[in-house]
Amino acid sequence: MATFKYVALAPDGTKVRAVGDAASANVLRNELMLRDLQVVRIREKKSINEIEITKQRVPRDAIMHFSRQMAAFVRSGIPITDALAVVAEGVDNKRFRAILSDVSESLHAGVPFSQALAMHEAIFPPYYIGILRSAEETGRLDSVLEQLSSYMERDLEARNKLRAALMYPSVIAVAAIGVVVLMATYVLPKLTDFFADWGAKMPLSTRILMGISDFFANYWYVTPLVFLGIVGLIMAGKYTDRGRHIRDTMLLKLPLIRDVVRFAAVERFSRILASMLSAGVPMPEAMAAATRSTNNSVFEAQLKAVGEAMLQGEGMAGPIAVSDAFPRAAMHMIRVGEETGTLDDQLSNIGAYYGSELEYKLKRLTTLFEPAVIVFMGAIVGFVAVAMVQSIYGVMSSPEFQ
């Protein structure tokens, strides 16, 4: 027997929060349904020694392969429960395998596929469950799973291209920093003793370099404090609302970065909204899921205002034009889609167009970034080298050396 904390809705709409014992979450769910309670959330209550400090992450490519395999099995007429069992056998990620096992138990208990996945919404993207829910209702589960897999593959390819483009300058930066640290830690202190023995006057560049070396030697604790501060800022920019808003606002103002961020948000929003609308997802639900998928708090705030205006009957093109979230070309395409009843097709076109524009902007950014990093690191290493050469030349030119 295990202990579970659950949240459920009573027939009169009141929220019930309680703890129950059952053999599994599905058994408890069935018991609550017999008591006319609609389950909102069930979570196992673990003791301190059972709590996982860091849960194993489920990579996005695992969900992509899962979607593609399930699409093939469903298209072949294999029952979903059997397909899940086969897919789970080939999954290496332990957490994802446990999730698929729980989903399979839910299916055997009579829970729909989309609802079984919704119990693990932290693993799946926000748009994933909504699209699957509509696909079940329309009988297009296989094609929608294939469509989800294709979209996730495109998203992963874009991220991998960016990582690959940044790899070379990152290696150069690390190597250059290593050279500077090595020289400042081991070479410069010996040079200082060498200068002191000969009584030579150090050139300005060498004095600057030695001052920097002495600073890090005497105030070594500054470096880890700065590192922790940077990590704290990154964490705040990722996990706090205010930090995310500041980070996203700054990114949208940087000259070379803002177009990449803007086109990425527009492309992701357009593709997901188009996919959800074509799958038959109601517009309010599709709009909410697509808004969350932008991963940009500035866009989310603007698109939430657009969604509220749409609920009041103002349409989509007008509120988007007022919000200034989308480029002008995208706004015109949305207006045409609304007037002709082809909004999902126009959104697909927007996603395709800005996807290609995003790829071009990324190539341009990385093309500029690589030489900039090389020049910057070359300047640092060059300064160190010049300081060393000048110092040695100064010693050789001193009267004591003659």
What pLDDT is recorded for position 49?
A: 46
Whether the CB-CB separation of 161 and 359 falls below 8 Å is answered with yes
Residue 210's alpha-carbon distances to 142, 184, 195, 262, 378, in angstroms, are 67, 8, 12, 44, 19
Question: In the chain, how many domains are there?
Answer: 3
Q: Are residues 167 and 144 in the same domain?
A: no
227 and 365 co-located in one domain: yes
CA dihedral 229, 231, 237, 243 (to 10 degrees): -20
pLDDT along the chain (402 residues), means of 10: 77 82 72 80 62 62 90 89 88 87 84 84 80 78 85 79 73 74 71 65 75 76 85 83 87 85 88 83 84 85 88 85 83 89 89 86 78 78 76 65 54
pLDDT of residue 238: 78
Q: Are residues 315 and 384 in the same domain?
A: yes
Beta bridge partners of 9: 15, 38
Same domain flag for 34 and 129:
no
401 belongs to a structural domain: yes
Instruction: Check whether residue 75 and residue 197 sit in a common domain.
Output: no
The verdict on 194 and 330 lying in the same domain is yes
* Residue of 102, 99, 43, 25 whose CA lies nearest to 66: 99
Strands (E), 204-265: none
Is 55 within a domain?
no
pTM: 0.68
For residues 227 and 123, membership in a common domain is answered with: no
Tens of pLDDT, residues 45-85: 665 444 444 456 788 888 999 999 999 998 888 888 889 88
**For residue 38, what is the DSSP state?**
E
Q: What's the rounded Cα separation, in Å, for the pair 164 and 370?
A: 12
Residue 308's pLDDT is 87
Question: Do 91 and 179 reside in the same domain of the chain?
Answer: no
Check whether residue 114 and residue 193 sit in a common domain: no
- Return the CATH number at 111: 1.20.81.30
Length of the chain: 402
pLDDT (0 to 100) of residue 198:
63
- Give the pLDDT of residue 42: 76
CA distance 11 to 18: 16
Q: Note the pLDDT of residue 146.
A: 86
Mark whether 253 and 280 lie in a shared domain. yes
Q: Which of 152, 181, 209 is the last residue of a domain?
A: 152
Boundaries of domain holding 129: 60-152
CB 117, CB 105: distance < 8 Å: no
Q: Do 242 and 187 share a structural domain?
A: yes
